[in-house]
Structure 1
């Protein structure tokens, strides 16, 4: 019974085949290579801001509408997002502490869960 190759073995095999010009490796031997950037999320956000202009805005889903959070909450969520963290924050949109998980992109308040989104508002959109 043949053993299943490890991810490292698959990557090495694909790299060797590519180097020899044999890019047509079997689909089962190809692996998805994920490149991890050396730049943190906040730096990439600044680069995008500089290139495309606009303002980053955090919104939450309420029914069929997306509602904007207050500036204090936006700042706190952006900081959490830049470090891929979750924590409690304060928001004027809610009357108590709100739990925000930027990995799951959700906000929780009094047992209710709200989807959150980070969007870039262009100057012409406002």
Structure 2
């Protein structure tokens, strides 16, 4: 028995390499949209959590002072890229409030979540 091996038997063929590249391409095509969806979901959850925290802060202020604070009376600490806006109360001593939260990394900041104290809490979209 001789130990002569042809070097052509030890290498991968072009077809085998192309099959591997195609399989990797399919896996990437499946994984990237899932990853981007998870990322968007995390940004949405972050904006909604900041909105709930701010709403709790507004309710606490109402319990302590008998009225909701205006935007000039209160400051919210939010996550990076989250912008909270108090739409109502427009005047001091108001009995209702409405706030919006926007995360700047979700579609350029056009997705809005709202909290309406008179309308039952959190809602998707701008209900203020």
- Give your verdict on TM over 0.5: no
Q: TM-score by structure 2 length?
A: 0.24
Q: Which is richer in strand?
A: 1
Q: TM-score by structure 1 length?
A: 0.24
Q: Which is richer in helix?
A: 2
Greater Cα radius of gyration, structure 1 or 2: 2
Tell which has more relative contact order, 1 or 2 (C-alpha 8 A, sep 6+): 1
